[in-house]
């Protein structure tokens, strides 16, 4: 497949927006006393419902899914998102987001030996600048080094590993099949674990759990499209935009107006993404292979 890097960038930005929304709503639920295991289960329940409706309409064929790889991806994904939900309930959303956003760097590093990708100096520079922007935007102090921060760090590692599993799946299976199998396996896993802490949610909590699930499944769709459109090492830096969306949510819902440092950090992140898009658009494409008569 010919890389479509502008499409990959757009899809990853949409995925970032949806994941930022899911994290914010999960924090609201966690602050209200709901266990992260139950929030994670709600995420899978409602995501599976949305996918089931789409499947009933589209009637896709499930053709020889790589179940071991799917199970590995689900394990990484469930551990990552549940760890994130734990962390945001115990520490500021911005700090937790900053720590878990080490996962693009982890994914890019893992893509080198596992996917055979070779990021060039421009990609390394863009990731470094984006990471610097994240540090400026969040400015984590000594208070970030707490048990919750270690949970967020573990979540970042799991999310980075999940990216590699997703990329390998997208090479052989269509996105909708990946979504169906992922959420079926993930739903069974999440509900089994959540049964140990389950309590009946209120009507408002059911609505918020539905919002988490729909936001995550929307992020999954956009994420898979981005990963199919370009290399993981190119697409992943755009996921840093979640930090920008988190700042916008803070301003809209909690009246937290970004200061000069926050604007500088956001500017570095956006600037790094735009620089990478511009540079990749100017990079020469390898010539198409010529067929030789036999």
Average pLDDT, the chain: 80
Dist CA 220 CA 176 (whole Å): 10
The mean pLDDT value for 259-263 works out to 68
What mean pLDDT comes out for the span 195-216?
Answer: 94
Question: In which band, very low, low, confident or very high, does the pLDDT at 185 lie, cut at 50, 70 and 90?
Answer: very high
Per-residue pLDDT, 254: 67
Contact 20, 213 (CB under 8 A): no
C-alpha angle 23-240-127 in degrees, rounded to nearest 5: 150
Are 276 and 234 in contact by the 8 Å Cβ rule? The answer is yes
159 falls in which pLDDT band (50, 70, 90)? confident
- What is the pLDDT confidence band of residue 104, given thresholds at 50, 70 and 90? low
More confident residue, 241 or 274: 241
Q: What's the pLDDT at 203?
A: 95
Show the CA angle centred on residue 271, arms to residues 10 and 21, nearest 5°. Answer: 50
- How many alpha carbons fall within 13 Å on the CB side of residue 44? 26
Give percent above pLDDT 70 in the chain: 81
Q: Which residue did the predictor score with more confidence, 85 or 233?
A: 85
3-state secondary structure labels for all residues of 53-77 = HHHHHHCCCCCCCCHHHHHHHHHHH
Contact 94, 138 (CB under 8 A): yes
- pTM, two decimals, is 0.74
Distance CA 15, CA 216 (A): 8
**How does DSSP classify residue 283?**
S
């Amino acid at each position: 497949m010919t890389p479509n890097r502008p499409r990959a960038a757009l899809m990853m930005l949409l995925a970032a927006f949806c994941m930022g929304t899911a994290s914010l709503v999960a924090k609201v639920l966690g602050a209200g006393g709901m266990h992260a295991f139950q929030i994670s289960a709600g995420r899978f329940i409602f995501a599976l419902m949305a996918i089931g409706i789409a499947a009933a309409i589209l009637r896709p064929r499930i053709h020889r899914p790589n179940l071991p790889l799917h199970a590995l991806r689900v394990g990484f994904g469930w551990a990552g998102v549940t760890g994130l939900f734990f962390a945001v309930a115990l520490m500021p959303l911005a700090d937790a987001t900053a720590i878990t956003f080490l996962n693009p760097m982890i994914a890019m590093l893992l893509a080198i030996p596992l996917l055979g990708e070779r990021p060039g100096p421009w990609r390394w520079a863009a990731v470094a600048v984006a990471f610097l922007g994240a540090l400026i935007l969040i400015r984590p102090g000594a208070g970030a080094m707490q048990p919750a921060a270690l949970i967020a760090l573990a979540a970042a590692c799991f999310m980075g590993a999940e990216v590699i599993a997703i990329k390998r799946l997208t090479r052989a299976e269509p996105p909708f099949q990946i979504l169906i199998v992922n959420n079926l396996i993930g739903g069974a896993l999440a509900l089994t674990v959540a049964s140990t802490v389950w309590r009946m949610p209120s009507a408002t909590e059911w609505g918020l759990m539905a919002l988490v699930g729909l936001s995550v499944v929307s992020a999954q769709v956009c994420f898979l499209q981005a990963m199919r459109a370009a290399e993981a090492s190119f697409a992943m830096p755009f996921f840093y935009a979640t930090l920008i969306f988190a700042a916008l949510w803070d301003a809209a819902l909690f009246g937290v107006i970004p200061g000069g440092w926050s604007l500088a950090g956001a500017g570095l992140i956006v600037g790094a993404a735009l620089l990478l898009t511009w540079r990749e658009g100017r990079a020469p494409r390898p010539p198409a292979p010529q067929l030789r008569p036999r």
